[in-house]
Amino acid sequence: MRNLILSALAFSVGLFAVVYTGSLNYINDDAVNILALLAAALILGITFVVSAKYVNQMKNDTATGELMQENWDDIREYNNKLPVGWAVSFLGTITFAFWYFSIGFPLNAFSQIGQYNEEVAKHNKNFEKNYENVDEEILNEMGESIFLVNCAPCHGITGDGIDGKAADFSRWGSEKGIVDVILHGSKGLGYAMEEMPAGLMDKDNAKAVAAYVMLEISTYGKTANPDLVELGKSLYVGCVGCHGTDGKGSYGTSPDLTKYGTPTFVVDVLERGKKGTIGVMPTYKVEDQIMTPIQQKAVGTYISSLSK
């Protein structure tokens, strides 16, 4: 048995030397890989020793000792003491876990994801500083380039929604867009008030409500149908239950109509994401570092320009 243990120890030491040398030569001192390979070498050595010990026991030992009182179909267990090796391994595992989560990896180890996030955050900070006072023309051009990369695959190069497969930005954000929502409903934005059903009004009344919302509620402040505003104001009573008398969406439980027709309304959708006909539009949250606030505003500016 002594020879087996000595052999196992020699094997572990040899493997340790190979792993350590290989780590230095080929892994460039990567702490994660070194730790993993050293642990593998240790596990192999322990496994070899333990396996050899119990194989030897099975060949030579005879079961003896005090039996437990309980039995299962006349089968009784020996009242054996807790194996020292098992107890040491158990306590060692707990100790290693505390070390791992408090001192060892990943807190003190290099992380490519962490480095990437730091670099993105630094770049975004510089980007925001460089474009802090950008004019609307450049903002619109920036928004167009972002739109063509991120939005055009679903909404089309011209933003027409590709025959109804996605939102048509030539109408969305305009009075025509409000009429479409009243007639066909609104889905997929995940507000607490849930989805807006279709067919709440006929087309003529929907045009009147759209005129009132665009002129009196939205900060856009313009309408193509000023003669319909008063009628729309009286009909808007049916919308108050969800959007509130001020149109702000009842503390965020439904869309804020004061932002409709402006880049800010687009930014809200970018932050929320949307479930559409052809799939789920992902969120583009600032906190996820996918877009910066200026990039969100740029996309909103460009999309808003498509319906004007």
Q: State the average pLDDT over residues 242-256.
A: 90
- CA-to-CA distance for 41 and 293, rounded, in angstroms? 50
Distances (CA, A) of 52 to 6, 14, 158, 205, 212: 12, 19, 72, 87, 86
Distances (CA, A) of 142 to 97, 101, 134, 138, 189: 49, 44, 10, 6, 25
Tell me the pLDDT tens digit for each residue of 10-47.
555 555 555 555 544 444 556 667 777 888 888 888 88
Tell me the pLDDT tens digit for each residue of 103-120.
766 655 677 888 888 898
Q: State the average pLDDT over residues 128-135.
A: 88
For the chain, the helix, strand and coil percentages under 3-state DSSP, each to the nearest 5:
60, 5, 35
Q: State the average pLDDT over residues 224-243.
A: 92
pLDDT-based confidence at residue 7 (cuts at 50, 70, 90)? low
Q: State the average pLDDT over residues 182-211.
A: 90
Average per-residue pLDDT for the chain: 84
Tell me the pLDDT tens digit for each residue of 146-168.
999 999 999 999 999 888 888 88
pLDDT-based confidence at residue 234 (cuts at 50, 70, 90)? very high
Q: Cβ(166)–Cβ(254) under 8 Å? A: no
Q: State the average pLDDT over residues 92-110.
A: 77
Question: What are 249's two structure tokens?
Answer: 């969406």
